[in-house]
Structure 1
Amino acid sequence: MKQEAIQLRIIDALSDVAESDWNPLLASDSGPFLKYAFLNALEKTGCVGGNTGWQVAHLIVEDSNSRLLGAMPLYLKQHSYGEFVFDWAWAQAYEQNGMPYYPKALSAIPFTPVRGPRLLVSPHADKGVIQEILVSGLKTLVTQNGLSSAHVLFPENDELGVLKQQGFMLRDSVQFHWHNEGYQNFEQYLANLTMKRRKNIRRERAAVESHQISYRHIPGEIAVASDWNFFYRCYENTYIEHRSSPYLTEDCIQLLGSSMPENFHLIIATQNERPIASSLLVVDKPNATAYGRYWGAIEHIPCLHFELAYYQAIEYCIKEGIQVFEGGAQGEHKMARGFIPTTLQSAHWIEDAGFANAVKRFLDREHEGMAAYVDELEQHIPLKSSKVLS
């Protein structure tokens, strides 16, 4: 394959390429969030694009016959919402120096703090060549369009080396993941916790049980429109209670439920046969991984959040043989429920040399502080046998 026969271009809608061309770029362990159906649903229902501050600008690499060889999910951002890697202080520093920080280039899955490939390459192409073209193209896009920076959030570990070679700086994040140690049931999982945590979980579950709550586990394949409608009411209410607006629309939830049902699992809590709360898991059964994404309630029951978002989800994972349950960004309270800290990294390229040096000094200090933070967390893991993963 001759490099001069390859062209890089930007598309402003995923629908500019065919699903049958996009999905073959994904390895078997790429997960559900990079599927054409997922990213396209966000665009088609207006969750990104338009006036959302997420301008679609995916990078694609093609050969002379317009065959797709590689791609990078990419957005031009007018803010830093929905990213889970916080750079508000960087934006403020730019503003204080009379320079615009936005728009910036962002390669990430919108609203989804999950590790996965960001430099997608066809199995029929030279991986090293395509990855280099994508990263170089990203930097060129920043420079030629007067953007402040480029950010690649939660890429795979092997992609971090490629990005670092091209001048990207790495930044640590900590998430909390639950790991299945071959548990046969929830009681066996509890037995692996310290006595204090075990008693606390039993107390929380008993508090919910006293309200006569029952649960419906609904695989995405059999969920109907009314199930998704109720879930959305709960999801939307969570944002309303925090005086915010939901990232996803009900049309998006309904479309995702119909276009990739095999990747979703709903849990609905009922009281006296009336639904009052719901949580949503995104499931990657081939890779034995589940992701806790959203939860919400239309009626307040103490400890119901823990039951629905964690304990019912863990019971599901044990039953289905799921090995890893990712609880999402932040939340030290998850450790009390048996989740352990996991370090992920993101990559950042700052166009202005002066700011790049300042950010590098900040990241060096932050890296040391994050390492100390993880060491401290490790001392409080409530499992009898556990380890910190990276």
Structure 2
Amino acid sequence: MASSEITLEAVASVSDIPAAEWDACANPQGNPNPLEQFDTLALPVVAAGNSCAGSRPAYNPFVSHAFFAAAEASGSACARTGWGPRHLLAKLDGAIAGVVPCYLKSHSQGEYVFDRGWADAYARAGGRYYPKLQVSVPFTPATGPRLLIRDGVDPERIGEALASGLMALCNATSASSVHVTFAREAEANYLGEHGFLLRNDQQFHWRNAGYTSFDDFLATLNSRHRKAIKRERREAVSADITIHWLTGGDITEDAWDAFFRFYTETGSRKWGRPYLTRKFFSLIGESMSRDVLLVMAKRNGRWIAGAINFIGSDTLFGRNWGAIEHHPFLHFEVCYYQAIDFAIQRGLQTVEAGAQGEHKLARGYLPQTTYSAHYIADPDLRRAIADYLKRERDYVAEVGRELAEAAPFRKGGDEA
């Protein structure tokens, strides 16, 4: 029997791809409705022989069609902001069998895996680093699938087509490189077998060891850290501050207005220009409100601070934070401790608290290696980067070991 034909296509907008077709590749287990089904969460599914996909969580909100649609339709991720969509499709006899979310970029902002040094070195050598292709969720340093493959097809064959298709797209767009960031480890290794260079970095994640309450979690920490966290939580709300969880229909446009003020106030100090537009938040409010948790702080009858989180089937993803009043430890309470509380109450296994931040270690968030894969077209630049990445991987591994040893959890002889 003749083999089915695979064709590749790049499209300039996620709106050119039917949402049901995209989501069948991105989240083939569907959305388990995390607000109502925490007691029946699906376990990770392993597709037989799927060496490029590995185990796939039942639902990841960031790779849903709705998230990309909001980022692009809001003007947050578009050609004008340096994020020109070039989503790669693999079609099997004309039907979409695989998708890679991909952007043609004119800069290295909003990625959280830093390659500006590579760009500068290449420019000094007379090369042109931009444009480059970025395979990621815009402005989102959260691990998730990047080669999105529909169930029921040969994952090895579709994965091979997508990997080679990225290299072909790099050549067709005159890009210098392809960067697949915050991929799952199995995916990164798969791309490494197909000519990509591997890069490791580090984040801090909280793991749920079957805790029944926040106090249950605190009991696993050594005395010094347990007392420090209790003090921080008391002082964070000492100025008559109350904390509120908003999700689903509780998130009104007034709440989005308040959160956007916090986001722009804090983002302007950190980045100069916040990445996400006000329209983005309204759009996810319309299409993804059940996947969103806003942790908001109120004082004297008005919202003063907040953090946005996205709810996966087994992970709470912390994203953006902002405030218009400064109060000691309020950031830790809203972003870290409330996230742990929510995860425990909802039976979630992990809290990902975003990029960087060794200060998270003392608050029970442990080092976790993150993975990316990079295709560099120029052989000279590729050799130089490959040498650098080997040394960087060794450094990241050593730092991770040292940080893990400094974890705040009680050891055998520690006092209760």
TM-score range, shorter chain: over 0.9
**Letter of the 2:146 counterpart:** R
Distance across 1 between alignment mates of 2:3 and 2:178: 24
Which of these residues, 377, 387, 390, is aligned with residue 364 of structure 1?
Answer: 390
- Residue number in structure 2 paired with 1:266: 294
- Residue number in structure 2 paired with 1:50: 79
Residue deviations 1:330-368 (CA, integer Å, cap 9, x gap): 100000110000112100111111111111110111111
Which of these residues, 69, 73, 80, is aligned with residue 101 of structure 2?
Answer: 73
Secondary structure class of the residue paired with 2:79: coil
- Residue number in structure 2 paired with 1:13: 13
Distance across 2 between alignment mates of 1:335 and 1:2: 55
TM-score normalised by the chain length of structure 1: 0.95
Q: Share of identical aligned residues, percent?
A: 40
What is the CA-CA distance between 1:52 and the residue it aligns to?
A: 0.6
- Residue number in structure 2 paired with 1:230: 258
Task: Kindly indicate whether the alpha-carbon contact (under 8 Å) linking 1:220 and 1:266 is maintained by their aligned counterparts in 2.
Answer: no
What is the CA-CA distance between 1:291 and the residue it aligns to?
A: 0.7
Residue deviations 1:34-91 (CA, integer Å, cap 9, x gap): 1000011111111111311111000001233x31111100001111111111111100
Residue deviations 1:101-159 (CA, integer Å, cap 9, x gap): 11111111111111111111121321111111111111112123322111111222222
Distance across 2 between alignment mates of 1:124 and 1:239: 43
Task: Kindly indicate whether the alpha-carbon contact (under 8 Å) linking 1:107 and 1:152 is maintained by their aligned counterparts in 2.
Answer: yes
Matched, 1:322 2:323: no
- Residue number in structure 2 paired with 1:192: 220
Segments of structure 1 that go 5 or more residues without pairing to the other structure are none
Root mean square deviation of aligned Cα: 1.6
Task: Kindly indicate whether the alpha-carbon contact (under 8 Å) linking 1:192 and 1:385 is maintained by their aligned counterparts in 2.
Answer: no
- Residue number in structure 1 paired with 2:284: 256
Secondary structure class of the residue paired with 1:383: coil
Query: Which runs of structure 2 are paired with 1:291-302 in the superposition (5 Å)?
Result: 291-302=317-328
Query: Which runs of structure 2 are paired with 1:157-306 in the superposition (5 Å)?
Result: 157-242=185-270, 244-284=272-312, 287-306=313-332
Task: Kindly indicate whether the alpha-carbon contact (under 8 Å) linking 1:180 and 1:322 is maintained by their aligned counterparts in 2.
Answer: yes
TM-score normalised by the chain length of structure 2: 0.89
**Aligned in 2, Cα 1:2/1:176: closer, same or farther, shift over 3 Å?**
farther
- Residue number in structure 1 paired with 2:338: 312
Secondary structure class of the residue paired with 1:51: helix
Distance across 2 between alignment mates of 1:81 and 1:314: 29
What is the CA-CA distance between 1:95 and the residue it aligns to?
A: 0.8
Moved more, 347-356 or 155-164: 155-164
Distance across 2 between alignment mates of 1:250 and 1:134: 34
Distance across 2 between alignment mates of 1:63 and 1:260: 30
Secondary structure class of the residue paired with 1:181: coil
- Residue number in structure 2 paired with 1:338: 364
Task: Kindly indicate whether the alpha-carbon contact (under 8 Å) linking 1:132 and 1:162 is maintained by their aligned counterparts in 2.
Answer: no
Which of these residues, 54, 60, 63, is aligned with residue 89 of structure 2?
Answer: 60
Task: Kindly indicate whether the alpha-carbon contact (under 8 Å) linking 2:189 and 2:198 is maintained by their aligned counterparts in 1.
Answer: no
What is the CA-CA distance between 1:235 and the residue it aligns to?
A: 1.0
Moved over 6 A (4+): none
Distance across 2 between alignment mates of 1:266 and 1:4: 46
**Aligned in 2, Cα 1:226/1:182: closer, same or farther, shift over 3 Å?**
same
- Residue number in structure 2 paired with 1:32: 61
Secondary structure class of the residue paired with 1:171: strand
What is the CA-CA distance between 1:243 and the residue it aligns to?
A: 5.8
**Letter of the 2:269 counterpart:** E
**Aligned in 2, Cα 1:324/1:43: closer, same or farther, shift over 3 Å?**
same
Moved more, 37-46 or 234-243: 234-243
Distance across 2 between alignment mates of 1:126 and 1:147: 29
What is the CA-CA distance between 1:2 and the residue it aligns to?
A: 5.3
Residue deviations 1:235-261 (CA, integer Å, cap 9, x gap): 111112336111111110011011011
What is the CA-CA distance between 1:4 and the residue it aligns to?
A: 6.3
Distance across 1 between alignment mates of 2:218 and 2:276: 35
Distance across 2 between alignment mates of 1:275 and 1:259: 24
**Letter of the 1:98 counterpart:** G
What is the CA-CA distance between 1:3 and the residue it aligns to?
A: 5.4
Distance across 2 between alignment mates of 1:313 and 1:115: 18
Task: Kindly indicate whether the alpha-carbon contact (under 8 Å) linking 2:147 and 2:159 is maintained by their aligned counterparts in 1.
Answer: yes
Task: Kindly indicate whether the alpha-carbon contact (under 8 Å) linking 1:267 and 1:308 is maintained by their aligned counterparts in 2.
Answer: yes
Distance across 2 between alignment mates of 1:138 and 1:154: 17
Segments of structure 2 that go 5 or more residues without pairing to the other structure are 30-56
Q: How many residues align?
A: 383
Distance across 2 between alignment mates of 1:126 and 1:184: 41
Distance across 1 between alignment mates of 2:217 and 2:164: 47
Distance across 1 between alignment mates of 2:274 and 2:227: 35
Secondary structure class of the residue paired with 1:254: helix
